[in-house]
Amino acid sequence: MTPRVVVLAGGVGGSRFTLGVRAALAARGEEEAGAAASLTVVVNTGDDLWLSGVRLQPDVDSILYALAGENDTVRGWGRAGDTERVNHELQAWGAGWPWFTLGDLDLGTHLARTGWLRDGLTPTQVIERLSARWPLGARLLPMTDAEVDTHVVLAGGERMHFQEWWTRHRAALAPERFENPGIGDAAPAPGVVEAIAEADVVLIAPSNPVVSIGPILAVPGIRDALRATAAPVVGVSPIIGGAVVRGMADVCLTAIGVRTAADAVAAHYGARSHGGVLDAWLVAEEDAELSASVDALGVRAHVRPLWMTDAAASRALAEAALSAAAV
Ligand code: GDP
Ligand code: CA
């Protein structure tokens, strides 16, 4: 039987891992049997923003483009072969953010999205439309239809949008905390709770625990759904050898008082047996000595290679996560 897999994901780590899961499911010969119906990706929308009149959903688009094979693998974000004519024109007008590049093809996505939102479609419906363009082999769901963009509150009390802090300031300003205004009143997007409840396995991608997975878990109802599902919940450490392998997630972890270590992130998510969300946690070979402290949390540690260096490595990692769940 086709296992029903739900992945919780952010952008870069999330999309690499999601490609691996899709490949692992296809390799099981389940492509024809309906892999599309069996893989649901619940995507962080805490990165979203309004800019130059259009709605951006960076993590959704990273996963959409990666699954479509349309992503820029060299740059690591946006569309392959994109150009920046409109961006230059916006800069000449002094519009938008000069440090935040909007590619021409990417802007096509944002215009389509914004037009459909204006027509009254929900973000869930918009993502369904965007997804229909390519055979993705997965269903993408936003974590919520509410706008809960992440804000960073600095030590001095100054507040800015997460994208300004991350992209303009390269996470160099000491954050005091991260907030998603309105998230306490947000609801999971339609289908999210149902997908988790009906899953055979739930995988937490090696994404930023604070600003990618954190907002997903903060949507009221999602954490409860993870705690209630009969499916095993397996997470993959985004920390290898005590370091974030790409990006600046360590600054985010420090701000919330979590060490940049595989066992500390597992403790942050917590064991389902102790009020948390994890049953098992994939730890890098480099961190093998931490597996005892993960086990001590009540989370089964599985030591595996965690580098997603290419498609084969991502697929092997996804296979390892699925076998840790014994599906
Ligand atoms: P973002 O939304 O674009 O920031 O991307 P994510 O939140 O999905 O993923 C960012 C995180 O992915 C980083 O903090 C890294 O710790 C993690 N990551 C990136 N590449 C790898 C990899 O090859 N292996 C593992 N285990 N984690 C990775
Ligand atoms: Ca993100």
**Residue 2: which pLDDT band, with cuts at 50, 70 and 90?**
confident
Q: What SS3 state is found at 255?
A: helix
* 201 falls within a domain: yes
Domains in the chain: how many in total? 1
**126-150 burial code (b ≥16 CB/10 A, e <16):** bbeebbeeeebbbbbbbbbbbbbbb
CA 264/CA 266 separation, integer angstroms:
5
The per-residue pLDDT for 76 is 86
Pocket test for ligand 1, best of 8, 12, 67 (most atoms within 8 A of CB): 12
How far apart CA 79 and CA 25 sit, in angstroms, is 25
What spacing in Å lies between the alpha carbon of 246 and ligand 1's midpoint?
6
Question: Tens digits of per-residue pLDDT, 164-176?
Answer: 999 999 999 999 9
Q: What is the pLDDT of residue 35?
A: 46
User: Which is more confidently placed, 43 or 36?
Assistant: 43
- pLDDT at position 222 is 98
Query: Which atom of ligand 1 has the smallest separation from the CA of 236?
Result: 26
pTM above 0.75, yes or no: yes
Give me the domain span that covers residue 61.
Answer: 5-70+122-148+183-324
Q: What kind and span of H or E run contains 39?
A: strand 39-43
Tally: H helices and E strands in the chain:
14, 14
Q: Cα separation of 15 and 18, whole Å?
A: 5
Helix (H) or strand (E) holding 117: helix 104-118
- Asked if the model's pLDDT at residue 323 lies above 90, the reply is yes
Confidence of residue 327 (pLDDT cuts 50, 70, 90): low
User: Residue 100 — φ and ψ, nearest 5°?
Assistant: -125, 100
Cβ contacts of 83 within 8 Å, gap of 6 or more: 103, 104, 105
Residue 204 has pLDDT above 50, yes or no: yes
Determine the distance separating the centroid of ligand 1 and the alpha carbon of 240, expressed in angstroms.
10
* CATH code of 59's domain: 3.40.50.10680
Mean pLDDT in residue range 60-85: 95
In a domain, 245, yes or no: yes
Report the separation in Å between the CA atom of 60 and the middle of ligand 2, taken as the mean of its atom positions.
Answer: 9
Amino acid at 250: D
> What's the length of the chain?
327
Sequence-distant contacts of 88-91: CB under 8 A, at least 24 apart: 90/52
Residue 71 to residue 7: CA distance in whole angstroms: 20
Does 196 fall in a domain?
yes
Tell me if 77 is assigned to some domain. no
How many beta carbons lie within 10 A of that of residue 245, not counting itself? 18
Ligand 1 neighbourhood includes 20 CB (under 6 angstroms): no
pLDDT confidence tier of residue 141, bands split at 50, 70 and 90: very high
Judge if the beta carbon of residue 212 lies within 6 A of ligand 1.
Answer: yes
Output the residue whose Cα is nearest ligand 1's atom 19.
13
Condensed to tens digits (0 to 9), the pLDDT of residues 46-55 reads: 999 999 999 9
Report the pLDDT value the prediction gives residue 36, as an integer from 0 to 100: 45
Output 157 or 34, whichever has higher pLDDT: 157
Percent of the chain with pLDDT over 90: 92
* Integer angstrom CA distances of residue 323 from 127, 233, 304: 30, 12, 11
> Does the residue 213 lie in any domain?
yes
Q: What is the pLDDT of the chain when averaged over all its residues? A: 95
Is 8 a residue whose pLDDT tops 80?
A: yes
Q: What is the mean pLDDT of residues 242-262?
A: 94
Residue range 83-94: mean pLDDT, rounded: 97
Ligand 1 in reach of 19 Cβ (< 6 A): no
Say yes or no to pLDDT of 5 above 60: yes
- Provide the pLDDT confidence category of residue 7 given band limits of 50, 70 and 90: very high
Query: Whole-angstrom Cα distance, residue 224 to residue 25?
Result: 27
Q: Are strands 39-43 and 300-304 parallel, antiparallel or unpaired?
A: unpaired
Pocket test for ligand 1, best of 212, 258, 310 (most atoms within 8 A of CB): 212
Residue 154 is encoded by which pair of tokens? Answer: 């600095």
Count of Cβ atoms closer than 10 Å to residue 312 Cβ: 11
Q: How large is the average pLDDT for residues 128-136?
A: 98
- pLDDT confidence tier of residue 241, bands split at 50, 70 and 90: very high
Least confident of 26-30, 108-112, 240-244, 314-318: 26-30
Q: Is the pLDDT of residue 161 over 90?
A: yes
Q: Is the residue at 285 inside a domain? A: yes
Is the beta carbon of 235 within 6 A of some atom in ligand 1?
no
Point out the ligand 1 atom lying closest to the alpha carbon of residue 212: 7
CB of 77 closer than 6 angstroms to any ligand 1 atom: no
Q: Is residue 139 part of a domain?
A: yes
Q: Is residue 117 part of a domain?
A: no
268 pLDDT above the threshold of 50: yes
Each residue's pLDDT tens digit, 172-198: 999 999 999 999 999 999 999 999 999
